[in-house]
Chain A
Amino acid sequence: DIVLTQSPALAVSLGQRATISCKTNQNVDYYGNSYMHWYQQKPGQQPKLLIYLASNLASGIPARFSGRGSGTDFTLTIDPVEADDTATYYCQQSRNLPNTFGAGTKLELK
């Protein structure tokens, strides 16, 4: 199984940039696409898709969110951070079965 590693927590000030990383133990690229996706989850809610295929903004997601990376190293950036962005962020790979998720990064405000 592909293992995704995320830092457990990140604290950022309002209006600043948050960078969340996700590293995989295997390449998740395939025929020009990176099968890495990012979700936001707030307490008591289901995960919400933010970024798909590493860098594509999902429908209705503000442009403050962006993603980049390829191969085994990926980042989600939120710039500028707003109060409503406090949540846990998960990366997920769909290159191989079983699809796997990172353990999540909890974003808090300083």
Chain B
Amino acid sequence: QVQLKETGPGLVQPTQTLSITCTVSGFSLTSYYMQWVRQTPGKGLEWMGFIRSGGSTEYNSEFKSRLSISRDTSKNQVFLKMNSLKTEDTGVYYCARGSSTTRVYDYWGQGVMVTVSS
């Protein structure tokens, strides 16, 4: 069955870089978009960006200058890297599978809580 699981550091210091891995099973990354969505107390649910089935990316301009999404199809993994973290980046980070036809996120990972604090 379709499964997604995020793994990440939990605690990151301000100005540092956040790295999260989403490991998927039950489907191929070359057939679906993979999105990153975060949920913060200040802004609720925010779409951060996605990587298409073909490997190209799109980013929310809110994060564009400091966000990178990549993947390793051989390992069934998608990666989020965001630098220059601020306390406002504290929240839960989700990866989600998206369809290129319906453009809907049909499966979500459980999320990983990230706290930005010194």
A residues contacting the other copy or chain, number (CB 8 A): 22
Given A98-B60, A98-B61, are A52 and B44 neighbors across the interface (CB < 8 Å)? no
State the majority secondary structure of interface residues on B.
strand
Query: Chain A: which residue is nearest B47 at the CB level?
Result: A99
Q: Provide the residues of chain B in CB contact with A92, threshold 8 Å.
A: 45, 105
A46 touches B108 (CB 8 A): yes
Contact with B along A29-52 (1 / 0, CB 8 A): 000010101000000011111001
Q: Provide the residues of chain B in CB contact with A45, threshold 8 Å.
A: 110
Q: From residue 46 to 75 of chain A, which have CB atoms closer than 8 A to chain B?
A: 46-49, 52-53, 58-59
Cβ of A100 within 8 Å of any chain B Cβ, yes or no, is yes
Query: Chain A: which residue is nearest B63 at the CB level?
Result: A98
Cβ of B72 within 8 Å of any chain A Cβ, yes or no, is no
Given A98-B47, A99-B47, A101-B45, are A58 and B61 neighbors across the interface (CB < 8 Å)? no
Interface residues of A (CB under 8 A from B): 33, 35, 37, 45-49, 52-53, 58-59, 90, 92, 94, 97-101, 103-104
Question: What are 21 A-B pairs at a CB distance below 8 A?
Answer: A37-B105, A45-B110, A46-B109, A46-B111, A47-B45, A47-B94, A47-B108, A49-B104, A58-B106, A59-B106, A94-B103, A94-B104, A97-B58, A98-B47, A98-B60, A98-B62, A99-B47, A99-B103, A101-B47, A103-B44, A104-B45
